[in-house]
Structure 1
């Protein structure tokens, strides 16, 4: 089965891609339209698999928003032009998408969003892809409905193949077998898939294969004394403790707070988590914290408390508060796995670090960030501070709010980077707007009002018909038809002009 799946997409790669921007956009429109039409069945399926109605509608709403972002803000024409130049042997060093076959290993988070957004990026960038969904024993109803949605959307099956494992053992077996196939790139969005990839015999066999990780580690957040404390607490609690965001690839694990506002912020955070619970939102697991089951975590917690740290249990997780002492960060590293929770943790854990200044926060944050760096710093501050912070930080920054759209959806890691050799440097071709985010005030609504609001937003979410543009944004035959029509009109206009001039000349001569 695996060989047949790979052969299908590999043959489609050799036979050629969709050569028209209009056709590519139409395929994404079909996905968008199919998701809207089938949202009721998807909501029921997600509820069977453990979602609340509000969370199911929220995931569908943000998925529609992401599809609209792909449709409107990706430079389809520039991508297609680069692909055609490469096919003609004129290699474009500034292209930034892998041309070929891509293996996408989706995890157990946001199944609907990952499957549809990755499919949209596949279509937009002319790749042929195999998307491995999580095992059906965990998401049986949702995956069945997703398969029906793909069928109804009539997306070209030759450029996009779905693999649906029946069990956890089948999931591991399918990934191991697919990794043996010569994919040009592998997109990994789950810790288990990452482990399987590292264990695979083919991991180091192909030096040209690009591994694209979409797994979060540390995402620092800074709250200054001039921030809107209640809004900051609300956004952080939503991004960390509500199930939909807690399952996300990205959520803040460390928050640096000005020690002057620490008591007020801590109280606001606990209140925000409680309000979310009263509003009917599904929080992370309420099971007791099992410190004793993991000796390493237990020792780290004891060391943390010995240095003056405290742990407060809230609905759905734990809040760890350190003291304004840099030395205790040396003991944070064994605590990191406990805070991040790991892929199997039933609880969300948030570490709060008091600091004396934003410079101190950035210095401390640099010690906690992995070598590849974070996706961005999250700042809650006033405008003068935001201008200062964005000037001294080399990473992408989000000021006065966490971009919740990035928490609810997989980041656009696929496919925005070229499969490069060591001598080439990639440059981005797609500038996805990062300043649009889901309004976090939605989460303060009562559950019934939230559902009504989301249903209205989904109903009003539409994509405009694609606009045909000139140049490489149309296919070969469309360009030929345009050129032929242009030549015909030019000849017709020239002949008509000569005829008028000749008739006037005869008229003048006879006169």
Structure 2
């Protein structure tokens, strides 16, 4: 079946409402789960082969990807309640509003990223099914083992009227909802769900951080999954007072990440070549110095104009730059205007300040969750991503509320309704207009009454981070001045007393 005819079949099924029934969605997800479960060994093998870089962590990461994906499938299945859906469908019949009604996007086309390919394909697929959409996978011919396995098992398991695989890139995107995990900009619209895979992630390590914990957490996030996760920190901003200690801790944990017998590590990612090229150029210009082994590099950035402070990093490369203060850390972070993620390692008050002043889609204080490293960047949408996965059914559906019994309106709204409802009775309409004006016109004759003033908050009742520092500094200065003055007066008095004749 050609890609075009497959999409036409999906459109026909969407028009017929084939996927609106929750029982159908349950059956499809159940078949998908059974298919993945029965082919677990083959899938795990394919994931490992695609990501085999020579690291001993590869098989463990493959297991993590597989089970995280299965967890997402189970969550979507558990979220479907047939009895509740029937009750909601007949709310209008019983005289109740159906405000939470949503419908699927119709035909969803998924364009997956290569990073953790299995998760990146299955999770949006199962979420779209749960939302009531027909789905198509855009899988062009590749050498990836995961693609080969899924092309074989998925069509055998899912309804061919509501699922298909497209073997080429879909250029015409009319009448489909595109899930694009390969986008390179913040593109967002009503007919697409895009992940900006080029957006950067930054970690800030303050002087009060637990250095050992921060180093261990950042090394794990940077080096796991071949260092290709969009959420791996691209730049680590470290306070200058702890930079040497932090760098030493990172080198120590990086050495433990790889087995001693490893000779070489292969990262199958084009972005890694760009990282290596930029690193070599920066070294030649004296903008950075590097340490580490043939397996990994710890990069100490000296020049803030170095391109590595602004680029997306891939592979086993940990870039560190020093800052002199919190304000300086914020300034460095703003070299990238729109961050994918911010990780702060500090006390809670400092974490609050940093996450408030650095513009990032999401921020984590004293943690980099392992699950966030799997899958694509979360799509750019006003709908928040769920806590442990990148997609939710609300992203793949549209609100379609139904009303039959609105709550009683306010007195003003009731008067407006009364006035407009008397279109057949001019005298009654004029009377209603007089009442309305009497309610809303102010004593000064203007079109609306003044709003009631809010309670004024006393000045200084809430001090910000910097205000507290300023007051504390001023207090210390005044304490020194007063102590010095008192001491001086005491010395003068004693001197005068000693000089006074007996």
Q: TM-score range by the shorter chain?
A: 0.5 to 0.7
Distance in structure 1 (CA, Å) of the matches to 2:319 and 2:3: 43
Distance 1:97 1:78, change over 3 A: farther
Q: Deviations over 1:299-325 (max 9, x none)?
A: 44434x25xx312244544322124xx
Does residue 133 (structure 1) correspond to residue 131 (structure 2)? The answer is no
CA contact (8 A) 1:390 1:397 kept: yes
Task: Name structure 2 gaps, 5 residues minimum.
Answer: 53-57, 92-97, 391-399, 402-502
The residue matched to 1:367 in structure 2 has which SS?
coil
Question: Which contiguous aligned blocks of 4+ residues in structure 1 show a shift greater than 6 angstroms?
Answer: 73-85, 92-98, 279-283, 289-293
Counterpart of 1:42?
Answer: 43
**Structure 1 residues 409, 226: closer, same or farther in 2, change over 3 A?**
same
Residue 255 (structure 1) aligned with residue 236 (structure 2): yes
Give the match for residue 111 of structure 2: 105
Could you tell me which residue of structure 1 aligns to residue 291 of structure 2?
Answer: 312
Change beyond 3 A, Cα 1:376–1:68: farther
Conservation of the 8 A alpha-carbon contact between 2:343 and 2:367? yes
* Structure 1 residue aligned with 2:448: none
Structure 2 Cα separation of the partners of residues 48 and 111 of structure 1: 12
Q: Is the 8 A contact 1:238 1:245 kept in 2?
A: no
Q: Which of 284, 289, 295 pairs up with 1:302? A: 284
* TM score, norm. by length of structure 2: 0.63
Shift of the alpha carbon at 1:360?
Answer: 2.1
**What is the match of residue 354 of structure 1?**
322
Structure 1 contact 319–351 (Cα < 8 Å) conserved: yes
Give the structure with the higher percent helix. Answer: 1
Residues in 2 aligned to 1:80 and 1:117: alpha-carbon distance in whole angstroms: 26
1:253-276 deviation per Cα after TM superposition (whole angstroms, max 9, x unaligned): 011112121112111111212111
1:209–1:364 CA distance, 2 compared to 1 (3 A): same
SS in structure 2 at match of 1:44: helix
Q: 1:13 to 1:291 in 2, by over 3 A?
A: closer
SS in structure 1 opposite 2:216? helix
Q: 1:290 to 1:62 in 2, by over 3 A?
A: closer
From the superposition, tell whether residues 234 and 314 of structure 1 become closer, same or farther in structure 2 (CA, over 3 Å).
Answer: farther
- SS of the equivalent of 2:343 reads strand
Cross-structure match for 1:241: 223
Instruction: Tell me if structure 2 keeps the 8 A contact 1:291–1:298.
Output: no
- Aligned-residue offset at 1:5: 2.3
Aligned twin of 2:335: 367
Give yes or no for contact 2:108–2:133 (8 Å, CA) kept in 1. Answer: yes
Matched positions, count: 375
What is the RMSD of the two structures over their aligned residues, measured on CA atoms? Answer: 4.3
Please say if 1:340 is aligned against 2:313.
Answer: yes
In structure 2, relative to structure 1, the CA distance for the partners of 1:190 and 1:319 (3 Å cut) is: farther
Q: Structure 1 residues 213 and 49, CA, compared in 2 at 3 Å: closer, same or farther?
A: closer
**Distance apart, 1:163 and its partner CA:** 2.9
Note the C-alpha offset of 1:6: 1.7
Provide the rounded CA distance (Å) in 1 between the counterparts of 2:350 and 2:275: 43
Structure 1's 286 and 28: CA in aligned 2 closer, same or farther, altered over 3 A?
Answer: closer
Distance across 2 between alignment mates of 1:84 and 1:214: 40
**Secondary structure of the structure 2 residue equivalent to 1:256:** strand
Offset at residue 55 of structure 1 (A): 2.7
1:123 and 2:102 aligned: no
For 1:361 and 1:113, locate their aligned partners in 2 and report how far apart those are by CA, in whole Å. 34
The equivalent of 1:456 in structure 2 is none
| Residue matched to 1:404 | 370
- Larger Rg belongs to: 2
The match for 2:346 is: 381
| SS class of match (2:290) | strand
Q: TM-score, normalised by structure 1?
A: 0.62
Q: Distance in 1 between matches of 2:83 and 2:283?
A: 54
CA displacement, residues 323-345 of structure 1 (integer Å, 9 cap, x when unaligned): 4xxxx32x2347644x625xxxx
Does 1:229 pair with 2:208? no
Structure 1, 111-120 or 67-76: larger mean CA deviation: 67-76
Alignment of 1:83-232 (within 5 A): 99-133=105-139, 135-136=141-142, 138-139=143-144, 141-151=145-155, 154-164=157-167, 174-175=168-169, 178-190=170-182, 209-210=191-192, 212-232=194-214
Q: Which gives a bigger RCO, structure 1 or 2 (Cα 8 Å, sep 6+)? A: 1
For residue 402 of structure 1, report the CA deviation from its aligned partner: 0.7
Change beyond 3 A, Cα 1:227–1:408:
same
- Contact 2:205 / 2:344 at 8 angstroms: preserved in 1? yes
**Residue 250 of structure 2 corresponds to residue 269 of structure 1:** yes
8 Å CA contact 2:218–2:368 kept in 1: the answer is: yes
- Compared with structure 1, are the counterparts of its residues 286 and 129 closer, same or farther at alpha carbon in structure 2 (3 Å cutoff)? closer
Q: Is contact 1:221-1:254 (8 Å) kept?
A: yes
Contact 1:79 1:125 in 2 (8 A): no
Q: Is the 8 A contact 1:122 1:128 kept in 2?
A: yes
- The alignment partner of 1:41 has SS state of helix
CA deviations on 1:382-410 (whole Å, 9 max, x unpaired) are: 33433444455564321111122111122
Q: 1:232 to 1:292 in 2, by over 3 A?
A: closer
Q: Deviations over 1:426-466 (max 9, x none)?
A: x52x65125x99xxxxxxxxxxxxxxxxxxxxxxxxxxxxx
Q: Secondary structure of 1:66's match?
A: helix
